[in-house]
Amino acid sequence: MTTRKPAEVFPPGDTPREELEARAWAEAATARARAAIDLIEGWLAGDTGEQEATWDYLKTALDEDRLSDRPLFSRVG
């Protein structure tokens, strides 16, 4: 599979203006992609202790008011 560089998304136009617009669009697309990647990496690097505590609380809260006597989540661990 061939990967394209951002500037190659639109081939250079017939005029310098079209080429500049294509480059500007490609740079903006690259910036948006970088921002999305940074956001996802931030989520992945989050505090795992806080996430585990939140998950434990959520499991308990969901199991408290169930109509069934069976827990929604396993009580192991």
Per the prediction, the chain carries an average pLDDT of 81
Tokens of residue 61, six digits: 């809260």
Residue type, 39: L
Q: Are 21 and 13 in contact (CB under 8 A)?
A: yes
Per-residue confidence (pLDDT) for residue 2, from 0 to 100: 58
CB 66 within 8 A of CB 72: yes
Rounded CA-CA distance 4/59 in Å is 45
Query: Could you report the per-residue pLDDT of 51-66, keeping only the tens digit for each?
Result: 889 999 998 888 888 8
Each residue of 9-31: pLDDT tens digit?
555 556 788 888 889 999 999 99
Integer Cα distance of 19 and 7 in angstroms: 9
